[in-house]
Amino acid sequence: MQTLKIFKIGGNVVDNPQILSKFLADFNRVSGDKIIVHGGGKEATRLASALDVPVTMIEGRRVTDRRTLDIVTMVYAGLVNKRVVAALQAIGCNAIGLSGSDGDAIRAVRRAPEPVDYGYVGDINASSVNVRLLTDLLGCGMVPVLCAITHDGDGLLLNCNADTIASSVAVALSQVRETELIYCFEQPGVLTDINDKSSVIPLITPDDFPALKESGVISAGMIPKIKNALDAVRKGVRYVSVKSSDDILGCTGTTVRL
């Protein structure tokens, strides 16, 4: 059986029609079973600004009050998810869009308010993922497209970090088959100098991460991305890479491994 590939794309990809179109065309050429997990933070931030709803981020994670929850649900589970699914259908890829509440795909527990109150934000792990649902969909030849909205099983929607969704899905599915996780964004990998695209760090291990974070090389939204990548390889994912959405068929990027 071929390796299952899980691709995570962020706001800088889904927000740009040209970049998204190129990524989806390349994604459609990837053989075997595959899944997309997407964010949409830029679109959500733009809508929040238009509605005069303040945006608060702490270490790359969005603080989600009730109004913000409504916004991210509309954007992630609605506009962005259906835009990606429709674009895939247009190129012959039979995709199905899911939030965590659809088919009970992913359940979450609302995060405790201490030490930081993130509001309506959910915490998940591999046990939160409905492996049977996803494997059944893959077995039917469908491509799941997962957004970052989950639920608690009692009717409450929760916002989750999309990188954590991708990592948890990869870890959960690695228990039943070989799995790879690919984080795709606008840079060719993790850079030592954000202004120099040739400064890609080829390999990051758990021993490297503290110093890279302390120096500021890994900061803001890259912090949860690398934390989740390291967590994934510790828990059974074969391979994690961080690379450009323009080069998913190539071999460049940053590898994260033990």
The per-residue pLDDT for range 162-199, each reduced to its tens digit, is 989 999 999 999 999 999 999 998 899 999 998 899 99
Beta carbons within 10 angstroms of residue 67's beta carbon: 13
- Cα(40)–Cα(112) distance, rounded to whole angstroms? 24
Q: Is the preceding omega at residue 115 within 30 degrees of 0, hence cis?
A: yes
The residues pairing with 182 across neighbouring beta strands, listed in sequence order, are: 7, 241
Whole-number pLDDT of residue 228: 85
Query: Comparing C-alpha atoms, which of 182, 200, 187, 204 is closest to residue 249?
Result: 182
Question: For residue 27, what are the domain limits?
Answer: 4-256
Looking at the 3D structure of the chain, how many domains does it have? 1
CATH number for the domain including 200? 3.40.1160.10
CA dist list (Å): 220 to 62, 152, 223: 11, 27, 6
> What are the pLDDT digits (tens) for 20-51?
999 999 999 999 999 999 988 888 999 999 99
> What are the pLDDT digits (tens) for 95-121?
999 999 999 999 999 999 999 999 999
- Cα(33)–Cα(31) distance, rounded to whole angstroms? 7
